[in-house]
Amino acid sequence: MLRKLVPYLVYSYVTFVGWTTRQRIVRADIPERIHAEGERFIYAFWHQRQVFFTWSHRNAEAAVLVSKSQDGEMIARTMELSGIAAVRGSSSRGGAAAAREMVEILRSGRDVGITPDGPKGPAREVKEGAVRVAQLSGMPIIPIANALSKKIEIAKAWDRFQVPLPFGRSAVIYGEPIRVTGDDDLAVKAAELKAALDALTAEADRLVQ
């Protein structure tokens, strides 16, 4: 019963945070340009900061990769309430099937989202799932970060998971698209994505200080 109730509580809380947070969006023209060119893309963002994206990207035409764990089920339900679809799988459970599904979603005309260091870390280390989906689909990756002036970091969590607090300021920042061709080395592209995400995260943090 509690697990069924949690998504509604989280959704309500994040809505309250969103209503009371002053949001700044930087380089929103990047995803707009990709869409204008007739393409979809892969959002890539660190696992630590995923909660606020359920507000900033509410009702986006996107599906986000969520693990098949019981916690993942609650996350998927919360996302559903926020108008964001879920693809169930991870690097350890259902990864290949999830990658195929994401490629199909991209080709059908929706974006997808991946936390490349999730669901269990190591924190801020890019696994190859996101770059492989980009390679298979031919669609670009757009790295994205957010930062909050008021939040709690859970010190015992593997990624120091952030819980947004109300009445603060936020920054959401898009990075330049990263393309992966059939000839590219996935490890090299994963390193490029990590560098982009780290730089965006640092930039977002500076904007809310």
In this prediction, residue 68 carries a pLDDT of 75
In this prediction, residue 199 carries a pLDDT of 98
CA distances to 11, 99, 140, 195 from 40, rounded to whole Å, are 27, 15, 8, 22
CB atoms within 10 A of CB 22: 11
Beta strand 162-164 pairing with 151-153: antiparallel
> Domain spans of the chain?
2-207
- The string of pLDDT tens digits covering residues 85-115 is 988 766 555 567 888 889 999 999 999 999 9
Asked whether 85 and 66 are in contact (CB, 8 A), the reply is: no
In this prediction, residue 91 carries a pLDDT of 52
In this prediction, residue 172 carries a pLDDT of 98
CB burial readout 69-93, b (16+ within 10 A) else e:
eeebbbbbbbbebbebbbbbbbbee
Q: Which of 208, 122, 128 is nearest to 167 (CA)?
A: 208
Place of tokens 């809380």: 13
Percent of the chain topping pLDDT 70: 96
Helix (H) or strand (E) holding 173: strand 169-174
DSSP of 133-169, one letter per residue? Answer: HHHHH-PPEEEEEEEESSEEE-TTSTT--EEE-SS-E
Could you name the CATH architecture of 2-207?
Answer: 3-Layer(aba) Sandwich (3.40)
Six-digit token pair at 203?
């930039």
pLDDT band, very low/low/confident/very high, at 75 (cuts 50, 70, 90): confident
- The string of pLDDT tens digits covering residues 104-149 is 999 999 999 999 998 889 999 999 889 999 999 999 999 999 999 9
| Cα angle value 53/57/60 (rounded, 5°) | 140
Helices assigned H by DSSP within 25-169: 29-36, 50-56, 70-81, 95-108, 129-137
In this prediction, residue 98 carries a pLDDT of 81
Mean pLDDT value across the chain: 93
Q: Which pTM value belongs to this model?
A: 0.93
CA distances to 56, 82, 87, 123, 127 from 79, rounded to whole Å, are 12, 5, 11, 22, 23
In this prediction, residue 88 carries a pLDDT of 78
